[in-house]
Amino acid sequence: MIKLFKYEIHRILCNKFFAGLLVITFLYSYQVMAGEIVLGTANTAPFSEWSFGMYLSRMLPILLIALLFFISFLYSRQEQEVRRITDTTPMDQKQLGLLRCGAMVVGFICISVVSVCVGLCFYAVNFRYTDFSHFLLPALLTLIPAMLFVLGVGIILGKIHPALIYALMPLVFLLGYLSVPNALDLLGSSFFQKMPLSLPIGTGGEPAFMVPFSVWIGKTVYAVIGLFLIILGVTRKSDKTQQSYKVKAGASI
């Protein structure tokens, strides 16, 4: 299973398409950091937890679209040919599905690391700020629930029809510019932009970073729904697969 997992990771990471995504992510990360985050978010410092969280929320559409591209690989014509072979082997298809999901998560993490590193290097070079431990909480709060939710939704939509994955991509971009309640804010842009304005100014001259309970609940719900959809997606065969089995069974009769 370890060799198979390495093979799945190799298929995602070692290709020209992934290299192109890395370049796009790098350039867009610098543009967002130098053009928007350098001014600070909601009257906070550019290197505050609020500004760093806002930076990641601005980057999330690109990161999630990259994840959706990884999901689309599962439903490509080449992958369908490979699946016809793997479906005839004694390999547990549920475990294979989980391995592929794990490989896509690794791909998402690699893309996200590029974006995070651009932001941290920008802080270190331009502001001489290197106390990066404060950024762990806003990073996990922003990236993990959104990744799980979009991964689950993408897998389910791909089973219905692969074209729906591409239809989801512009919706992900749109989410970054919608004003929604903090508890329902998947990407976090509304939360990081509005929440500091409602908090008192602390001793450091800006509001301390805090996450309301309602936001924790909202992020948890997104993550749980995503995990449920992932498990549902890897344990149930798509309609096309079931139809092909019926055709084969009818032909054999």
Looking at the structure of the chain, the number of domains it has is 1
- Distance in angstroms (rounded) separating the CA atoms of residues 220 and 241: 32
Question: Which structural domain range is residue 35 located in?
Answer: 2-239
Evaluate whether 234 touches 158 at the Cβ level (below 8 Å): no
Instruction: Report if residue 215 sits inside a domain.
Output: yes
Residue 90 has pLDDT above 90, yes or no: no
Whether residue 16 has pLDDT greater than 70? yes
Q: Does residue 253 lie within any of the structural domains?
A: no
Q: Which two tokens stand for residue 125?
A: 């070079």
- This prediction has a pTM of 0.86
| pLDDT value of position 247 | 40
Q: Which stretch of DSSP H or E encloses residue 253?
A: none
Residue at 97 is within a domain: yes
> Using one digit for the tens of pLDDT, what is the confidence trace for 40-86?
998 899 999 999 999 999 999 999 999 999 998 877 766 665 555 55
Phi, psi of 188 (to 5 degrees): 95, 0
Residue-level pLDDT at 250: 42
Cα angle 193, 195, 196 (rounded to 5 degrees) comes to 85
Residue 246 lies in a domain: no
Rounded CA-CA distance 184/143 in Å is 15
Residue 251 lies in a domain: no
Residue 249 in domain: no
Mean pLDDT for all residues in the chain: 85
**Structural domain includes residue 245:** no
Is residue 200 in a domain? Answer: yes
Between CA 186 and CA 47 the distance in angstroms is 22
Q: Are 123 and 30 in contact (CB under 8 A)?
A: no
